[in-house]
Amino acid sequence: MTNEAIIEMLEKLADLMELDGVEAFRVNSYRRAVRSIRDFKDDLTVLANQNRLTEIPGVGKGIAGRIAELVSTGRLAELETLEQKVPTWLPTLLAMPGLGPKKAALIHEKLGVTDLAGLKTAIESGKLAEIPGLGDATAKKIAEGIQFIESGGGRVPLGIALPLAEALAERIRYLSGVRRVEIAGSLRRGKETVADIDILCETDQGEKAIKEFTSLSDVRRVLAAGETKGSVTIKLPEGGEIQVDLRAIPTESFGAGLMSFTGSKEHNIRLRERAIACKWSLNEYGLFEGTNRLVGESEEAIYAKLGLPFVPPELREDRGELDRLPADLVSLDDIRGDLHMHTVASDGRNSIEEMAAAAQMRGYEFIAICDHSKSSTIANGLSIERMEQHIEGIRRVARAKPGIHILLGCECDILLDGQLDYPDEILAKCDWVVASAHARATGPAAKLNPTERTLAAIENRYVCAIGHPTGRLINRRPPMEIDMPRVVAAAAKNGTCLEINASWQRLDLKDEHAQMALAAGGTLTINTDAHSTDQLDQMRLGIVTARRAGATKQSIANCVNYNELRKLIARKRGA
C-alpha cells in the first residue's frame, strides 16, 4: 500500500471520528500524525515491516498499529465500523458553513436532505426556514455559506498554485532552445487565488519547445499546441486540474510580453495611454514608434522609456502605483523573525528546539512560540496549569539556545464576550501575545459582535498583535463581519500590531485591509502561524501580500532588530 493511500485512509478515519463525537485530542492526534507522514519520505510499508513507524514525529503506538493493520490487510476495522455508523450524508452537509452536526441531522430528519442540491432546494422553497429551531436567519446564513463556496469559481489559492508553477517552470528551462523562463499572470502579481497559470519562455525554437511542453509527464490533457503557445492541464494536489499556458517569445520582445501577460489589464491600459501620449504604441511585442521598435527586451527598459520607475509586479493593479510608488517594498530578506508559531505543546508537529533550529537556518534573530490557549480544545489548547509548565519549558530552551532569541508567547483566544482566554497574570508573564478569534458564534451566545470583541482585545495592554483578524479560510470560510476602519484605527492608536497570517489557507489580513492599516498609521507583523518547521517557508506568501499592500520594512514589526522589538512591546505595555 502506498504512502498516499495510507494517508487517505487515516484522514478519512479522523474525519469520521470527529463526526462521531470522539474526543478532540484523539482526532487531533491523527491529524498531527497525517501531517508528519506527508513530510516523511520513507516508505511506510518498509517502516511497518521493520517496526519503526514510531520514529515518525507524532506517530505513537496506537496510530502505528493502525498503519501496520493497513499495510498487512489493506483494511482498517475501525474505519469500516465508523463508515457503517456515521450517516453517509453527514460529511456532505457539514461542508456547508453554518451547519453543525445537530442542525444537519435535523434537516435530514425533517426534509430528507442528503446533498447540496437538496439543501439549496429546501432553502429556496422556504421549507428549511419552517423547521422549528431554525428559522429565516439560519436559512439565510446557510444560503450565504453555499453562495460563498460556489463563488470560488474554481480559483486556486496562491499557496497551491505557486509551487506547482515553480516546479513546472524549472522543467521548462530544459526544453529546446529555452534561455529564460518567467511565471506571469495574476500568479506573478501575488493574487490570493488564480484561475490558471501563465508561463513565458524566451526561445527562438517556439514550436519545438511547445511540443515538448505538451508532452511533459505532468500533463493531464492537451488543450492546444501551436507555434508560440501551448495550453494543458495539470493535476492539483487536492483533486481537480488547473490550466497552464506556455508562451514562447523571442528575446527582443520578451520584456514586453512579460509585461503584457503579467497584467493587470487596468495597469497595462495606463501604460498604453502613456505611450499614446508620447505618440508611441505599446503591445506584447514592444514599445513602438510607428514600425520601429524602441524597446522590448526588458520590462525595466520599457518603464524607463516611458519615464517611469520600475513597478514591482505585486503593485500592478491600477491603485495609483504610477503616481505614488513606495520607495522600498518589504522583501523576504528584511524579515528578522517569526512571531507566531506552534509546537507539540498544542497542535504543532515539532518541539521548541526544532522550531528554533529551523528558524536559525533561515537566518532569523528571534522567534515567538505561541501555542494555543485553553479554549482551543480541538487544537489541544493549554490549560493554565499546562501553560505554567510550558512557560518554564520555553524559558529553559531559551537559556540553552544561543544565537537566537526565543520569546515566550501564546495565541490567546478572544472569547465571545470580548474577554481573553487567559487572565492578565498569565499574559503578563509572556513576552509576546497574539490574540485571535477562533469562535465565530453569533446571536445570544455572542455577547459582543466580532468588531467589539476585536476592539476589546486590541485595548488589552498585554496583547501585542491580533492574529488572522478576519478568521477567513480562502475558498472555504468567509471572513467575520468586522468593521475594518474601526479596527485599524484602534490598532494604530493602541500600538497593537495587526497580523498578515502567511498560512496559504488564510493570507489574513488580505492586501486591501493591510493597505488600510498602513494608511491609518498602524504596524503590521507577518507571521507563518507555522505548525511544523517546513511551514516556516510560507513567510514568502505573507511577504507577497504585504508588498501588494505597499508595505515597507519600516511598517513591519518583525523587520526590526531584537532590541527595537523589545522597545515596541514595552511601549504597548506602557512601560
Q: Which residue has the cell 506556455?
A: 246
C-alpha cell at 423: 487572565
Are β-strands 281-283 and 219-225 bridged in parallel, bridged antiparallel, or unpaired? Answer: unpaired
Read off φ and ψ for residue 234, nearest 5 degrees.
-125, 160
Of 240, 91, 101, which Cα lies nearest the Cα of 157? Answer: 240
Percent of the chain with pLDDT strictly greater than 90: 68
393-432 b/e (C-beta count within 10 Å ≥ 16 → b): bbeebbeebeebbbbbbbbbbbbbebbbbbeeebbeebbb
CATH number of 153-249: 3.30.460.10
Question: What pLDDT does residue 229 have?
Answer: 96
For residue 288, the one-letter residue type is F
Q: Work out the average pLDDT over 263-282.
A: 96
Q: What is the largest CA-CA distance in the chain?
A: 77
Read off φ and ψ for residue 525, nearest 5 degrees.
-135, 135
Question: What pLDDT does residue 574 have?
Answer: 86
Give the highest mean pLDDT range of 94-98, 145-149, 510-514: 510-514
With 70 as the cut, is the pLDDT of residue 47 above it? yes
Fold of 332-573: TIM Barrel (3.20.20)
CA pair distance 172, 178, nearest whole angstrom? 8
Q: Work out the average pLDDT over 175-193.
A: 97
Q: Work out the average pLDDT over 90-104.
A: 70
Q: Work out the average pLDDT over 38-43.
A: 74
Q: Which residue has the cell 507563518?
A: 528
Question: What pLDDT does residue 571 have?
Answer: 95
Residues 6+ apart with CB under 8 A from 135: 129
Confidence of residue 41 (pLDDT cuts 50, 70, 90): low
At the top level of CATH, which class does the domain 90-151 belong to? mainly alpha
With 70 as the cut, is the pLDDT of residue 28 above it? yes
Lowest mean pLDDT among 56-70, 295-309, 433-447: 433-447
Of 128, 197, 133, 130, which Cα lies nearest the Cα of 162? Answer: 197
DSSP assignments along 28-65, one per residue: HHHHHHHHHHHH--S-HHHHHHTT-GGGSTT--HHHHH
Of 450, 500, 508, which Cα lies nearest the Cα of 477? Answer: 508
CATH 3.30.210.10 fits 255-323, yes or no: yes
Question: What pLDDT does residue 150 have?
Answer: 66
pTM: 0.80
Question: What pLDDT does residue 570 have?
Answer: 96
Question: What pLDDT does residue 445 have?
Answer: 60
Lowest mean pLDDT among 153-157, 347-351, 394-398, 514-518: 153-157
The 10s digit of each residue's pLDDT in 435-455 is 999 877 655 566 789 999 999
CA pair distance 48, 349, nearest whole angstrom? 21
CA pair distance 53, 50, nearest whole angstrom? 8
C-alpha cell at 85: 455508523
With 90 as the cut, is the pLDDT of residue 548 above it? yes
Q: Tell me, yes or no, if the two domains 3-85 and 255-323 fold the same way.
A: no
Q: Which residue has the cell 456532505?
A: 92
C-alpha cell at 372: 494555543
Question: What pLDDT does residue 299 have?
Answer: 98
The 10s digit of each residue's pLDDT in 115-154 is 778 888 989 999 999 998 888 888 888 887 777 666 655 6
Average pLDDT, the chain: 91
Residues 6+ apart with CB under 8 A from 454: 414, 437, 466, 469, 482, 487
Percent of the chain with pLDDT strictly greater than 70: 95
CA pair distance 261, 130, nearest whole angstrom? 51
Question: What pLDDT does residue 36 have?
Answer: 80
What is the residue extent of each domain of the chain?
A: 3-85, 90-151, 153-249, 255-323, 332-573
The torsion defined by the Cα of 420, 421, 424 and 426, in degrees rounded to 10, comes to -150
The 10s digit of each residue's pLDDT in 373-423 is 999 887 889 999 999 999 999 999 999 998 999 999 999 999 999 999 999
Residues 6+ apart with CB under 8 A from 77: 69
Question: What pLDDT does residue 148 have?
Answer: 65
Fold of 3-85: DNA polymerase; domain 1 (1.10.150)
Question: What pLDDT does residue 459 have?
Answer: 97
Q: Work out the average pLDDT over 13-28.
A: 80
The 10s digit of each residue's pLDDT in 319-348 is 999 999 988 899 999 999 999 999 999 989
Question: What pLDDT does residue 475 have?
Answer: 85
Of 525, 513, 508, which Cα lies nearest the Cα of 330? Answer: 525
For residue 371, the one-letter residue type is D
With 90 as the cut, is the pLDDT of residue 14 above it? no
